[in-house]
């Protein structure tokens, strides 16, 4: 159990376009989802936390109008990078936690590699 | 604010060697501590999770310990193999909330 998927796994886009990344919990209800960003050879940096049906809470320094997060259902959260620029190129990873036996830890997706040309 | 440090940042060992990865943290009020493995370009694989009330967890050749009083955790890998080559991350969940604080990771290379 506790499988989290991300789609797409890899995306290349032109500067100025918007890109949407999906994060799904496949076998449990994710009451909370987290979005991380990882630069090459660096650790994970938390971008935002979202609870189902509520607005996301963004970490300091993360532009909420740049990185739009929607958590409209208990199995799906989306991260939209608006007007992407080359400096937004990164590895984006989501994680999810739920209730009951899924409350104790975060379960991570496989990540999405975004390259902005 | 919780700060998590992993030493060393990189480690290269010959196959078969036993090794220890270190993780230190500044705030002992933790809920649990988790060790992850990350292969290049991939997501995180959870290796071991230690609850605040526990002192160690074991899975196969891996053993993780937790000493809250000294703010330290270690990941012991026995009889290392080339397939163990990866980045190992420790992450802490504090009592106050659900979020994880990650260390910088240790990049391990096991040479055949």
Q: What is the pLDDT of residues B82-109, one digit of tens each?
A: 999 999 999 999 876 778 999 999 999 9
Contact B43 A111 (CB under 8 A): yes
DSSP A55: P
Q: What's the rounded Cα separation, in Å, for the pair A32 and A56?
A: 10
Residue A31 to chain B, least CA–CA distance (Å): 11
Residues of A in contact with B108 (CB under 8 A): none
Q: Kindly give the parts of chain B with pLDDT less than 70.
A: 96
What average pLDDT does chain A have?
92
Say what the pLDDT of residue B96 is: 66
CB B93 within 8 A of CB B26: no
Block residue for tokens 């159990």: A1
Backbone angles phi, psi at B83, to 5 degrees: -70, -10
Class of residue A86 by CB neighbours under 10 A (exposed 0-12, middle 13-18, buried 19+): exposed
Say what the pLDDT of residue B79 is: 98
pLDDT at A16 over 90: yes
Contact B89 A44 (CB under 8 A): yes
**B107 CB near a chain A CB, below 8 Å?**
yes
If you average pLDDT over residues A52-74, what whole number do you get?
Answer: 92
In chain A, the percentage of residues whose pLDDT exceeds 90 is 74
Distance of CA A103 to the CA centre of its chain: 18
Residue B84 to chain A, least CA–CA distance (Å): 17
pLDDT at A42 over 70: yes
Contact A44 B42 (CB under 8 A): no
Q: What's the rounded Cα separation, in Å, for the pair A41 and B105?
A: 9
Residues of B in contact with A46 (CB under 8 A): 99-100
CB within 8 Å of B104: residues ≥ 6 apart? A42, A43, B4, B5, B6, B9
| CA A51-A53-A59 angle, 5° bins | 40
Residues of A in contact with B98 (CB under 8 A): 32, 49, 97, 106
DSSP A101: G
Regarding predicted confidence, which is higher, A92 or A103?
A92
Of B34, B42, B102, the CB nearest to A111: B42
Say what the pLDDT of residue B95 is: 75
């Amino acid at each position: 159990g506790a499988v989290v998927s991300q789609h797409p796994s890899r995306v290349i886009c032109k500067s100025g376009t918007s890109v949407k990344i999906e994060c799904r919990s496949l076998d449990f209800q994710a009451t909370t989802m987290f979005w991380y960003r990882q630069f090459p050879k660096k650790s994970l940096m938390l971008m935002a936390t979202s609870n189902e049906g509520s607005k996301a809470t963004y970490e300091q320094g993360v532009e909420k109008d740049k990185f739009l997060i929607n958590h409209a259902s208990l199995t799906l959260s989306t991260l939209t990078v608006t007007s992407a620029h080359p400096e937004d190129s990164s590895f984006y990873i989501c994680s999810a936690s739920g209730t009951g036996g899924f409350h104790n830890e975060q379960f991570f997706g496989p990540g999405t590699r975004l390259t902005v040309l | 604010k919780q700060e998590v440090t992993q030493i060393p940042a990189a480690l290269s060992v010959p196959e078969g060697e036993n090794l220890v990865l270190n993780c230190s943290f500044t705030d002992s009020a933790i809920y649990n501590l988790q060790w992850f493995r990350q292969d290049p370009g991939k997501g995180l694989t959870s290796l071991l999770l230690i609850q605040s009330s526990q002192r160690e967890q074991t899975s196969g050749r891996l053993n993780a310990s937790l000493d809250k009083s000294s703010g330290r955790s270690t990941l012991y890998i026995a009889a290392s193999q080339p397939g163990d080559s990866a980045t190992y991350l420790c992450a802490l969940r504090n009592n106050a909330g659900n979020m994880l604080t990650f260390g910088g990771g240790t990049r391990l290379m096991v040479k055949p």
